[in-house]
């Protein structure tokens, strides 16, 4: 077998440079000197006989060869992490590390509480939570960088044969209004009333926006007729905008528990309409499944019931 032209340390350095955006920041994150980082990259380029970074750019910009190496390097490092978790399981069946992924709303409002409940039962398990878009999290599970994920959107079509997708629980979507709004004085509002509201929404490319539009359409509500006052890129910003009287919004009920308890937002019920989306658990069944992953997968439904009661 031929000698490899790179080491795992060099792959870690390459990944850190791209993640941090510069050699200096990468060196700081790895607790080594910048000259040491530069020497490792120079050695790597010499072994590969090709440049990894563009020399004419002050920023850390990868060449075509650099992109190729990073792509395979990420897969190699993920497999190394998977191997370590498997060996750790063999050594200590009650320990281990669990890397959980979640889409934005689910990861921000639901998963911290579920992880807290899980840690109370299994304090010896080290848990990491990664929160990104449904698409990015799905790819992370497919690539082995995340053990399992809970998402509220659609898995990319190209990954549906790779990932095991299990329906988990329904998450209700609420129409929220400022407490001072005239509709907040009524127990229910009509479908037609929605067309009289001004809405605060996530951008049209966001997963939850697409889910909301799809579910509304299933209830014969044409969201294209809504008056969109503004688009924001976070649920927290949307809640603050609604609270300030700038408009109405659809958000996950899990995102407004505190506001409802404090009475600073109003949940407007639409007569004869309940808007829900399905949360799903995704796992790559072709990869090693740690004891921690199996335990979390089995108990997550119980944890959701505990969280909602």
Backbone angles phi, psi at 120, to 5 degrees: -65, -35
What is the pLDDT confidence band of residue 263, given thresholds at 50, 70 and 90?
A: very high
Distance CA 11, CA 44 (A): 9
Cα distances from 183 to residues 100, 229, 247, 288, in angstroms, run 40, 18, 12, 52
| CATH class as words, domain 8-83 | mainly alpha
61 has a pLDDT exceeding 90: no
Backbone angles phi, psi at 194, to 5 degrees: -60, -30
Instruction: Give CA angle at 100 (6, 17), nearest 5°.
Output: 30
What confidence score (pLDDT) does residue 10 get? 92
For the chain, give the percent of residues with pLDDT over 70: 93
What confidence score (pLDDT) does residue 309 get? 42
pLDDT tens-digit readout, 278-307: 899 999 988 878 778 888 888 876 765 444
Other CB atoms within 10 A of residue 255 CB: 23
Distance CA 37, CA 16 (A): 10
pLDDT tens-digit readout, 102-131: 988 889 888 998 899 888 888 888 899 999
Backbone angles phi, psi at 215, to 5 degrees: -65, -40
Question: Does an H or E element contain 170, and which?
Answer: strand 164-177
What confidence score (pLDDT) does residue 2 get? 63
What confidence score (pLDDT) does residue 95 get? 61
The overall longest dimension of the chain from CA atoms, in Å, is 76
For the chain, give the percent of residues with pLDDT over 90: 50
What confidence score (pLDDT) does residue 308 get? 44
| CATH class as words, domain 93-169+278-308 | alpha beta
What confidence score (pLDDT) does residue 306 get? 44
What confidence score (pLDDT) does residue 69 get? 94
> Which is higher by pLDDT, 208 or 9?
9
| Fold match flag (8-83 vs 93-169+278-308) | no
Sequence spans of domains, the chain: 8-83, 93-169+278-308, 170-275
Comparing CA positions, the residue from 156, 277, 292 lying closest to residue 300 is 292
Distance from the Cα of residue 58 to its chain's centroid: 31
pLDDT tens-digit readout, 231-257: 998 899 999 999 999 999 999 998 998
Superfamily for the 170-275 domain? Periplasmic binding protein-like II (3.40.190.10)
pLDDT tens-digit readout, 118-177: 888 888 888 999 999 889 999 999 988 899 999 988 898 999 989 999 888 888 899 999
> What sections of 92-110 are H helices per DSSP?
104-105
> What sections of the chain are H helices per DSSP?
8-20, 23-30, 34-48, 64-91, 104-105, 111-121, 134-142, 207-218, 235-243, 257-262, 291-308
21 has a pLDDT exceeding 70: yes
pTM summary value: 0.66
């Amino acid at each position: 077998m031929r000698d490899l032209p790179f080491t795992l340390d060099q792959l870690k350095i390459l990944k850190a440079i791209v993640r941090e955006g510069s050699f200096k920041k990468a060196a700081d994150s790895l607790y080594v000197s910048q000259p040491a980082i530069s020497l490792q990259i120079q050695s790597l380029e010499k072994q590969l006989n090709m440049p990894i970074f563009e020399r004419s750019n002050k920023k850390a910009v990868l060449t075509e060869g650099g992109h190729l190496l990073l792509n395979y390097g990420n897969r190699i490092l993920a497999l190394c992490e998977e191997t370590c978790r498997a060996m750790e399981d063999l050594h200590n069946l009650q320990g281990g590390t669990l890397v959980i992924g979640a889409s934005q709303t689910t990861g921000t409002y639901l998963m911290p509480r579920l992880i807290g409940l899980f840690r109370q039962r299994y304090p010896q398990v080290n848990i990491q939570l990664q929160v990104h878009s449904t698409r990015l999290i799905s790819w992370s599970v497919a690539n082995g960088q995340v053990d399992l994920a809970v998402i509220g959107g659609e898995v990319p079509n190209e990954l549906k044969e790779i990932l095991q997708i299990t329906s988990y629980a329904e998450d209700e979507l609420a129409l929220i209004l400022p407490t001072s709004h005239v509709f907040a004085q009524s127990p229910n509002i009509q479908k037609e009333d929605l067309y009289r509201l001004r809405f605060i929404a996530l951008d049209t490319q966001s997963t939850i926006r697409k889910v909301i539009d799809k579910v509304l359409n299933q209830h014969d509500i044409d969201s294209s007729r809504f008056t969109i006052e503004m688009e924001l890129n976070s649920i927290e910003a949307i809640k603050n905008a609604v609270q300030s009287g700038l408009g109405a919004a659809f958000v996950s009920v899990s995102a407004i528990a505190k506001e409802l308890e404090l009475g600073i937002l109003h949940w407007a019920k639409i007569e004869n309409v309940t808007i829900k989306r399905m949360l799903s658990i995704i796992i790559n069944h072709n990869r090693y499944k740690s004891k921690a992953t199996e335990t979390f997968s089995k108990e997550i439904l119980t944890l959701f019931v505990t969280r909602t009661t």
